[in-house]
Structure 1
Amino acid sequence: MKNSLLKLREKLTEALNSVLPIIGIVIILCFTIAPISSSILLCFLMGAAMIVVGTMFFTLGAEISMTPMGERLGTAITRSKKLSIIVILGFVLGFIITISEPDLQVLAEQVPSIPNRTLILSVALGVGVFLVIALLRMLFSIALPHMLIVFYILAFVLTLFVPQSFLAVAFDSGGVTTGPMTVPFIMAFGIGISAIRNDRHASDDSFGLVALCSIGPILAVLILGMIYRPNESAYIPPVLPEISNSVELWKLFRVGLPTYIREIAVSLFPIILFFGIFQIAVLKLSKRNLRKIIVGLVYTYIGLVLFLTGANVGFMPAGNYLGQVIASLDYNWIIVLIGMLIGFFIV
């Protein structure tokens, strides 16, 4: 318990260091060149508080659950030494980890011209295929730069056959593989696989999984754009909140909370099921290690629920409105400066 509290305190400090600069920038903008209503400001501050707490729980949960799970699954799959098993399980793992990615749900909601399930399955298919390609690259020590060049050339060729309005959606879909669920799992998965190899290049080849997996969704969505020929893939701005007191502020977040409680539960279920099957059949971890992973999954769940609720209910309306106000300014250099600052601190 004492160790957990120390870890939570450490992660809280990290979360504050990440979020407080963004809060500071937004507040300065609100009281200078981009005034906003008290409703939007209150929602932003409430959302910021939830993001800090959510980030604290999520980063700790990912550290003690998602990372060990990825490493153990990668090691167990590679130990089979059967290429067919590696290909099949690698694809299934990439597919379900992508479906579990909350960022993908947000992306799908912004593309009205394509059914959500169709877009989600297409992106998951792309990640699954390219996770297999990345695993084969590691096992056979294929140079990463050559593969990146070939696949990005293919991506740019496909852009010639896709509506211009859909290109941004396709390339943004690659960001799914940099989401809070995908990165810890895929990178740990690669480390687990590289641990099986004994050559001196094994540690170097463990890198590049995220880079290759990011190409899969781009290619998959570009092909989807060629099939659907969507013409209305415009961004749908969030509704700006109008609240008059603290009770209405809490009600706004309370109404949105159940949605993300269900969404994250559905997102995590495939991963938990996949890991549970492997635990029974292959891994057979000790009760102590298994209990630690379960606690980490609970932290991950709490963190993601709070984080997404705070971001979607509080941050998105404020960010949308500030973007409109700043874009309307006559001083273009301010947009560049603000973009650099926000981008720096967000990353």
Structure 2
Amino acid sequence: MTDLKRELLDVVQAVLPIAGVVLLLQIFLISMPWTGFARFGLGVVLVTAGLLLFLQGVKIGLLPMGEAVGAELPKRGSLPFLLVSAFILGLTVTMAEPDVWVLSGYVDTASGGAVSKYALVVCVALGVAIFVSLAMLRIVLNVPIAYILAAGYCLILVLSFFTPADFVPVSFDAGVVTTGPMTVTFVMAIALGLADALEGRSAVQDGFGLIALVALAPILSVMSVGLLLTTQSKRKGTRNE
């Protein structure tokens, strides 16, 4: 019961500042109908309850299961099995991430259906799945994460000069929303479990930094898709001429 009260206090502290700012804007600036503001108040209550339930679910189920999976995979003695399992887990967890679906829905609406939300979700999920596998491989091979991050961001910088302007902001937003509660919780737990299972490894040094790699994945995948679509459209235009 003490842990539940502490988590409730943490959730209230996270939600209360946002609610306070909106309340001040309502009183001194916006003055929207109070019926609409009442719906906002109901939403705050539901968000608070949802976050509390989510944290309980993470504590009871997701974290222990993720760490158990991460600790069990190396015992199979097969690196391909580890990488394939990491790919599948990264793919499914990303497709279950609510933030990814929210962003893809907005992109679909803003682009008038030119960028399908389902195509964007699949693109982001595939990118994350590949990078989760690479992150597990990095832990096994003990490759310094600084090298991978430096190479990844250098590649992003180069691609940004060739990617269509419409895809660049979407790619960076996709990188942000991918590091949501589902992905961070489960993937991080697997990485920590894997680092703990490997003899002579530090969970802090090898288990952390994974989310930075995960954030790279959708940026690169969305940019690559935008570059590919532009190349194909140019080829079609050349053929028609």
Normalised by the size of structure 2, how large is the TM-score? 0.88
Letter in 2 for 1:85: F
State the AA in 1 paired with 2:150.
I
CA distance in 2 between partners of 1:202 and 1:191 (Å): 6
Stretch deviating more after TM superposition (200-209 or 137-146): 200-209
- How many angstroms does 1:40 deviate by? 3.0
Moved more, 25-34 or 187-196: 25-34
1:220 corresponds to which residue?
221
Alignment of 1:20-169 (within 5 A): 20-112=16-108, 113-169=114-170
Unaligned runs of 5+ in 1: 230-347
Match of 2:191 in 1: 190
The aligned amino acid for 1:78 is: P
Relative to total residues, which structure has the larger helix share, 1 or 2? Answer: 2
Q: Which residue of 2 aligns with 1:314?
A: none
Aligned mates of 1:202, 1:7 — CA distance in 2: 25
Amino acid at match of 1:42: A
- Give the equivalent residue in structure 1 for 2:239: none
SS at match of 1:51: helix
Q: Give CA deviations for 1:189-239 in whole Å, capped at 9, x if unaligned.
A: 11100011222545311111111111111111111122334xxxxxxxxxx
Q: Secondary structure at the match of 2:199?
A: coil
Deviations 1:65-118 (A, max 9, x none): 110111011111121121111111111111111111111111110122212221
Q: CA deviation at 1:34?
A: 3.4
Deviations 1:25-63 (A, max 9, x none): 111122123333323312211110101111111111111
Distance 1:186 1:115 in 2: 26
* Amino acid of the structure 2 residue aligned with 1:156: L
Report the CA distance between 1:177 and its aligned residue: 3.0
Cα root mean square deviation, aligned: 1.5
Distance 1:129 1:187, change over 3 A: same
SS of aligned partner of 1:120: helix
Report the alpha carbon displacement of residue 181 of structure 1 after superposing the two structures with TM. Answer: 0.8
2: CA distance between counterparts of 1:166 and 1:200?
Answer: 39
Equivalence for 2:6: 10
**In 1, distance between residues paired with 2:43 and 2:144?**
44
Whole-angstrom CA distance in 1 between matches of 2:45 and 2:166: 35
**Unaligned runs of at least 5 residues, structure 2:** 109-113, 231-241
How many angstroms apart in 2 are the aligned matches of 1:96 and 1:165? Answer: 27
More relative contact order, 1 or 2 (CA 8 Å, 6+ apart): 1
Structure 1 residue 6, shift from structure 2 partner:
4.3
Cα distance in 2, alignment partners of residues 200 and 170 from structure 1: 34
CA distance in 2, matches of 1:27, 1:137: 47
Amino acid at match of 1:212: L
Superposed displacement of residue 183, structure 1: 0.9
Separation in 1, partners of 2:186, 2:78: 22
2-side partners of 1:173 and 1:107: how far apart?
7
After the TM superposition, which of the residue ranges 147-156 and 162-171 deviates more from structure 2?
Answer: 162-171
% identical equivalent positions:
35
Structure 1 146/17 Cα, relative in aligned 2: closer, same or farther at 3 Å? same
Aligned residues between the structures: 225
Amino acid at match of 2:36: I
What TM-score does the superposition give when structure 1 sets the normalisation length?
0.62
Aligned to 2:206: 205
Find the aligned partners of 2:214 and 2:77 in 1 and give their Cα distance: 22
What amino acid maps onto 2:193 in structure 1?
A: G
Q: C-alpha displacement at 1:7, in angstroms? A: 3.8
